[in-house]
């Protein structure tokens, strides 16, 4: 396991802040009170551990298949429904949404190999990630990848109530590999994936996803 570069500044600032707080507590607030000082140190270590675990990148074998669409993020499937995709396709698609809690790995991965045909970033609100309007009103990105077969897959990074920054590493015209990093969302969020109606969906609501590993759907010949 390694730690994501997006967390370097946050982890450093958190460590410095906790050291300063513990120093002040030791010399002034809890001077002479060993129990309180130790308790403060333990709480600080737990808090720092929570921050560090958020930026972890576990080692895992990635799923690579020309016709399979893999989960772009860790989390729980909260939506599987047929809906009108109004931004790019402007037609009916199957939407699969994955909610990412602050305890999930927050690396986002490309669900298929292909070319980035479309990319947009939208600043916006910070509604809770499961709110019906979060996919159209929250800070978000929209990415469309064209597979070798010509099939296009759209997916969105959506910031939640806690997330305050979306990071992406893709641009229009770029070729990407399935499972490679496409971005990061800091501190809780959601990812929506839009697949063709005739795709075979392999997951159900409540299923736990592993980004780059779990097969969400499969394009039928």
Catalytic residue chosen out of the listed positions 97, 134, 135, 189:
189
Cα–Cα dist 213/69, whole Å: 10
Rounded CA-CA distance 212/15 in Å is 31
> How far from 216 is each of 22, 37, 46, 144, CA to CA, in Å?
46, 49, 34, 16
Q: Determine whether 180 is an active site residue.
A: no
Helix (H, G, I), strand (E, B) or coil at 221: coil
DSSP notation for 38-78: HHHHHHHHHHHHHHHHHTEE---PPP--TTEEE-SSSEEEE
Instruction: Estimate to the nearest angstrom the gap between the alpha carbon of 76 and the chain centroid.
Output: 11
In which region does residue 21 sit, left (phi positive, over 0), alpha (psi from -120 to 50) or beta (all else)? alpha
Dist CA 218 CA 83 (whole Å): 18
105: Cα within 13 Å, side-chain hemisphere: 23
Catalytic residues, which ones?
189
């Amino acid at each position: 396991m390694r730690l994501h570069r997006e967390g370097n500044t946050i982890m450093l600032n958190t460590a410095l802040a906790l050291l300063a707080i513990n120093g002040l507590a030791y010399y002034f607030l809890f001077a002479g009170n060993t129990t309180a000082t130790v308790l403060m140190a333990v709480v600080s270590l737990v808090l720092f551990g929570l921050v560090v675990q958020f930026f972890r990148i576990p080692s895992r074998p990635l799923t690579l298949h020309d016709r399979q669409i893999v989960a772009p993020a860790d989390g729980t499937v909260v939506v599987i429904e047929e809906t009108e995709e109004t931004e790019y396709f402007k037609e009916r698609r199957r939407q699969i949404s994955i909610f990412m809690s602050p305890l999930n790995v927050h690396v986002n991965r490309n669900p298929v190999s292909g070319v980035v045909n479309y990319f947009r970033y939208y600043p916006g609100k910070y509604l809770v990630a499961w709110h019906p309007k979060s996919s159209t009103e929250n800070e978000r990105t929209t990415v469309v990848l064209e597979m070798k077969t010509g099939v296009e897959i759209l997916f969105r990074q959506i910031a939640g109530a806690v997330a305050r920054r979306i990071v992406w590493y893709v641009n229009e015209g770029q070729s990407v590999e399935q499972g490679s990093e496409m971005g990061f969302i800091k501190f809780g969020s959601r990812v929506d994936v839009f697949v063709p109606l005739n795709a075979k969906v392999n997951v159900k609501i409540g299923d736990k996803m592993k980004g780059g590993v779990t097969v969400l759907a499969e394009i039928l010949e």
